[in-house]
Amino acid sequence: MLFACLTLFGMYLGQEFVDIQFCGIIFKHRGGSSWLLLAFTMWRYSFVTMMTGSWVKLVLYRGSDALSVAFNLVAMVFVLDIDNMAYSYLPPSARATVQNFGTMQIAPEELAMLMRTKWIFMLCVPALAPLA
C-alpha cells in the first residue's frame, strides 16, 4: 500500500514539476516581470522539496498503516491540486489573459524533457523516499 501511494504521489508531484518547468520555458522564451520570475523560482526550488519532505514526515510521525497512508495521500494531492482549483475560479477575462500568455509552441527536445521529468518523479519518489 505504501509503495502504491508513493508511486501515485510521485505521479502527482511529477505533473506539478512539469507545470513548473513549463512556466520556466515560457519565461525563457517570452520574458516576464521580475516578481513573477521570483515567485516561479521559489515555487520551483522550495515547493517540490517541501512536499517530498512532508510526505516522509507524515509517514514517519503519523503512522504507516494503510489508512493513515491513504488519508495522507489524499491531503497531499489536495495541496498539489489547489492551484488548479484556484485557476478554475478566475474570472473569464483573467483566464483568457493567462491562456494568451501561456500559449506557445514547444520544441521537441523541451517536450521530451518534460515527459522524462514525469517518469523520473514517478520512479524516484517511491524508490528514494525510504532513504529520506
Q: Each residue of 12-25: pLDDT tens digit?
A: 888 888 888 887 78
CA angle 113–87–24, rounded 5-degree value = 30
pLDDT digit of tens for each residue in the chain (132 aa)?
A: 778 888 888 888 888 888 888 877 877 777 767 777 777 778 778 887 888 788 778 888 888 888 888 898 898 889 888 888 888 888 888 888 777 776 778 888 988 988 998 888 888 888 877 766
Residue 53 neighbours by CB under 8 Å, 6+ apart = 132
Query: For residue 74, how far is the Cα from the chain centroid?
Result: 15
* Residue 117: other Cβ atoms inside 10 A: 17
d(CA 48, CA 68): 22
Query: In the 8-state DSSP scheme, what is residue 43?
Result: I
pTM of the model: 0.76
